[in-house]
A and B are shown apart, each in its own frame.
Chain A
Amino acid sequence: MPDARPVAGFPMNAPSRPVPGRLPAVLLLVATLVTAAAYLRATLALPHPELADPLGPQIFPILVSGGLFLCALLMVVDLWRTRDGRTPVLIEGNAPFDLRSTMMVAGITAWTGLYFFVFERVGFLLSTVVFLLGLMSVFNAGHRLTNLCTAAGFTVGAWLLFTRVLSVRLPQGVLPF
């Protein structure tokens, strides 16, 4: 059962510091307010064409930004109702934020962003093999041959299926095919 234990390279016995309970809720409230204000500002900056419909392209976004402010208000009410800590502000979907998980997701995001950056330039085949091999080396550590075979096999299989069978265009990149 390969999934029953933490993977190599990410020992879980190291202390993990979860973010304090109410902080994410407060940050979410602030983010909502900032988003609502920025969206309203951008909406009000839109030009109003003279010959368009009487309401214009601004009316719906104004209502939406009003809705975002309403959400912020409801969040304030939620925070106020739970100020004594009786009811949890957050019912976490998976687990609380912690520094290690955040760093790990940031790393995967950066690696995936790099993959997308070279996807067209280098081509599907090369970029995908390297991308997969990189992630598999970390998250399926210690199985070098399996990882190499899986990364190469999957990439070539997907390329044949999509380009040859389904006629989907994939970036060729530096390779001649």
Chain B
Amino acid sequence: MDAFEHLLNGFSVATQPINLAYVFLGCLLGTVIGVLPGIGPAAAIALLLPITYGIEPTSSLIMLCGIYYGAMYGGSTTSILINTPGESSSVMTALDGYAMARSGRAGAALAISAIASFVAGTASVVLLSLLAVPLAGFALKFGPAEYFTLMLFAMTSVAALTGPSLAKGLLSMFLGLMFATIGIDLQSGQQRFTFDMPELQDGIGFIVVVVGLFAIAEVFSGLEDLVKGRSEIIRMSGSLWLTRDEWRRSVMPIVRGTGIGFFKGVLPGAGATIATILSYSVERMLSRDKAKFGTGMIEGVAGPEAANNASTGGAMVPLLTLGVPGSGSTAVLLAAFIMYGLQPGPLLFEKRPDLVWGLIASMYIGNLVLLILNLPLVGVFVRLLYIPIGLLLPMVVSISAIGIFAVNGNIFELYVALGFGVIGYVFRKLAIPVAPLVLALVLGGMMEQSFRQAMTISGADPGVFVRSTICIALLSASALALSIPFIAPLLRRFAPGPATA
């Protein structure tokens, strides 16, 4: 069966009335949460996980994916109207989007953001559909050593490429691995670092960490910002329709942004943020009005927004075909899969094609739903920004408490989440990225098992990690990723002219 037939079967699953309802609900909730300042896709998925309990896994994952790309859509609204990106991938949108809003073109900025997101999101799902089968087939060649090096590559790239310092990225990654070792060792049955606390025997719950790091930490930062009076909301103004000139100027940035976003999304670590930076830099480089970037150029919104949303489709490629997420948000999605007893990867394509292809097909529908929701209803979503932060953020804490308590009914996990909230706040203050920690926490257990299985098979010979071409390629890629923070400043020194963006 080829990809097209699989996709048709997927559409038969995704177009069932109940699944259509979950696509709609996921997109709506994702957009609403994405619009709320500071709450990004990872926190959105983690916070809304409790409402999926009791729902059939396919429908539930369809909804969670809708929340994921809905939140990516919604994040641009806060960038444009209050200059507060929901997450780092919306930072570039804020540069020209906020400037457009200040000059009375908020409607046009929001419209091009929705259109670029729709085009790029749909194109990236087409590419995902085409790449899924060959990549899943290739992934069947992976043994424990290959999986270990793949996870090492995913983690080191995220650690090296997110945040301003390699040391901080690696610190976040190793702390995540450290937390992942808490609990009962699966191979020996030995308790590790549990301090005789039965609550820690199963390890630290992933949802607990994500809610703490993303949602509770955001409450701390948001209330601090409120106290310091940083936020200024620009009221939506100007027509939602673009002028002929704006259309003409937006087409090619959307096309280029889609290509950049998808391929960067596929690579672990590079992800949406770097894709948007690259897209913005390319548009600025190609423009005849370089100096006007940052003052409200529509190309500076169209390109990064396309790159941002194309990367969501790209990020689903390694998650679904290899079972390895490349970002904090997809790591949360992986946790959701695991919560339902599903392990994404090549075997899932064989065992549950209905689920995988139903999910992929739902993304086509989801992108359309988001366009329909975002263009005419953007004015309604914008009203959410006028909810006083002092009312909104305390409610986020309560929703977090419900979400965590609903998993195991365990109060201890609430304290752990609060602790991770404090860690997340301190990380923000020290510019330590949290994505490597999240990724390492979710992959740490699998990584350790792969490492020990490979070593056991090889009779404790570390040479097993350089025996296959795949391993050598992945180790080389990891080394390259780790060397980028050292090489990039040298390259910048020799580059002609001022740095872009």
Contact = CB atoms under 8 A, between A and B. Distances in A.
A105 B220 contact: yes
Contacts of B50: 162, 166, 168
Nearest to A74: B167
A121 to B, nearest CB: 9
Contacts of A135: 390, 393-394, 397
Contacts of B469: none
Interface residues of B, number: 73
B198 interface: no
B430 A28 contact: yes
Contacts of A39: 178, 193
A140 B387 CA distance: 11
Contacts of B394: 131-132, 135-136, 139
Contacts of A85: none
Interface in A96-131: 96-97, 100-101, 104-105, 108-109, 112-113, 115-117, 119-120, 124, 128, 131
A42 B195 CA distance: 10
A167 B54 contact: yes
Contacts of A124: 402
Given A3-B389, A78-B165, A154 B398 contact: yes
B456 A108 contact: no
Contacts of A74: 166-167, 170
A119 B170 contact: no
Interface in B389-413: 389-391, 393-395, 397-399, 401-402, 405-406, 409, 411
A164 to B, nearest CB: 13
Interface string B17-56: 0000000000000000000000000000000001101100
Among the interface residues A57, A135, A140, which one has the most CB atoms of the partner chain B within 10 A?
A: A57
B interface majority secondary structure: helix
Interface in B169-191: 170-171, 173-175, 177-178, 181, 185, 187-190
B376 interface: no
A103 B488 CA distance: 39
A7 interface: yes
A6 B229 contact: yes
B36 to A, nearest CB: 12
Interface in B218-260: 219-221, 223-229, 231-233
B193 A1 contact: no
Nearest to B50: A168
Given A70-B170, A74-B167, A75-B167, A4 B233 contact: yes
B429 interface: yes
A15 interface: no
Interface in A11-67: 12, 24-25, 28, 32, 35, 39, 42, 46-47, 49, 52-57, 59-61, 64-65, 67
A26 B460 CA distance: 39
Given A60-B451, A74-B167, A90-B431, A2 B386 contact: yes
Interface stretch (B104-112, B113-121, B287-295, B414-422): B414-422
A38 to B, nearest CB: 10
B267 to A, nearest CB: 22
Contacts of A47: 190
Among the interface residues B171, B224, B225, B427, which one has the most CB atoms of the partner chain A within 10 A?
A: B171
A119 B224 CA distance: 25
Contacts of A109: 220, 418, 421-422
Given A4-B229, A70-B170, A104-B224, A53 B164 contact: no
Given A119-B414, A158-B399, A60 B430 contact: no
